[in-house]
Amino acid sequence: MNKKDFILSLFFPKRCKFCEKVIDYREHICKECEESLPIIEGDVCSKCGCEKAFCNCGEKSRYYMSVCAPYYYSGPPREAIKHLKFRNAKHLADGLADDMVSCFNERYKDLEFDFCTFVPAHKSTIKMRGYNQAELLCRSFSEKTGIPFSDLLQKDFKTPSQHTLNESTRKGNLLGAFSLRHKMKESIRDARILLCDDIKTTGSTLDECAKTLLINGAAEVRCITLCVTKNDKK
Ligand SMILES: [Zn+2]
Ligand SMILES: [Zn+2]
């Protein structure tokens, strides 16, 4: 560390990107978070993003081709998402997007994409929160990977929070909730699109967005999220 960086670090101490605890400038995350990271690794199911031991995809068909995520939705990444979503911690998005980039480089490295886009929020949600966390992750991801960012979708009506519903009502809850933004049809024709979100639970939201992109002419949609919920068992 040079002198300038050292002085800066006194005023702006380095913080863990998950829990925001002050850490040594040589570290990226704190010891506690590092030890409890729910990393997804090894033999992973590309359809649900879980390790194969926890896959319960069965015959379920999806509009999107695949999902990848660096973490399960628990521990430090879950806390970080909660801060990002509900406690105005917009500054966390950049560090979290780094982990999505690493996952991308590992699992999607041989694929090509024309655009990356994100799961939109209804304008009333954005008004209340001030931003859409999926968009922040996607913008940062785009800057780091060079995949062009495009704001393609909009959410046309407010739906009850997905986490308040069971799986079968989740799907119906979103029917027709998304549409392609005005004048975007030309740009997505035959495009390979990477769809970003903070978390995948049942996959219904990603699937409804993928469907909207495909019926408007996209060639292929794959997804990337920071977390996926771990299926209990097969
Ligand atoms: Zn931490
Ligand atoms: Zn699976």
**Which ranges of the chain have pLDDT less than 50?**
none
The answer to whether residues 106 and 136 belong to one domain is yes
Sign (positive or negative) of CA dihedral 140, 142, 148, 153: negative
What is the pLDDT at residue 88?
A: 87
- Nearest ligand, measured from the Cα of 33: 1
Residue 127's CB is within 10 A of a number of other CB atoms, namely 9
The answer to whether residues 67 and 179 belong to one domain is yes
Q: Please tell me the distance between residue 58's alpha carbon and the centre of ligand 2 in angstroms.
A: 7
Q: Please tell me the distance between residue 71's alpha carbon and the centre of ligand 1 in angstroms.
A: 15
The answer to whether residues 24 and 122 belong to one domain is no
Q: Please tell me the distance between residue 223's alpha carbon and the centre of ligand 2 in angstroms.
A: 14
Q: φ, ψ for residue 51 (rounded to 5)?
A: -60, 145
Q: What is the pLDDT of residues 85-94, one digit of tens each?
A: 988 889 999 9
The answer to whether residues 18 and 106 belong to one domain is no
Q: Is 44 part of a structural domain of the chain?
A: yes
The answer to whether residues 27 and 47 belong to one domain is no
Rounded to whole angstroms, the Cα distance separating 172 from 38 reads 31
Tell me how many domains the chain contains.
2
Which tokens go with 162?
Answer: 């997905």
Q: Please tell me the distance between residue 134's alpha carbon and the centre of ligand 2 in angstroms.
A: 23
- Nearest ligand, measured from the Cα of 29: 1
Q: Is 193 part of a structural domain of the chain?
A: yes
The answer to whether residues 6 and 117 belong to one domain is no
What is the pLDDT at residue 27?
A: 86
The answer to whether residues 161 and 201 belong to one domain is yes
Q: Please tell me the distance between residue 78's alpha carbon and the centre of ligand 1 in angstroms.
A: 12
Q: For residue 147, give the CATH number of its domain.
A: 3.40.50
The answer to whether residues 17 and 105 belong to one domain is no
What is the pLDDT at residue 134?
A: 98
- Nearest ligand, measured from the Cα of 31: 1
What is the pLDDT at residue 6?
A: 76
Which tokens go with 132?
Answer: 């859409």
The answer to whether residues 222 and 184 belong to one domain is yes
Rounded to whole angstroms, the Cα distance separating 6 from 163 reads 44
The answer to whether residues 28 and 135 belong to one domain is no
Q: Domain span at residue 14?
A: 1-35
What is the pLDDT at residue 171?
A: 67
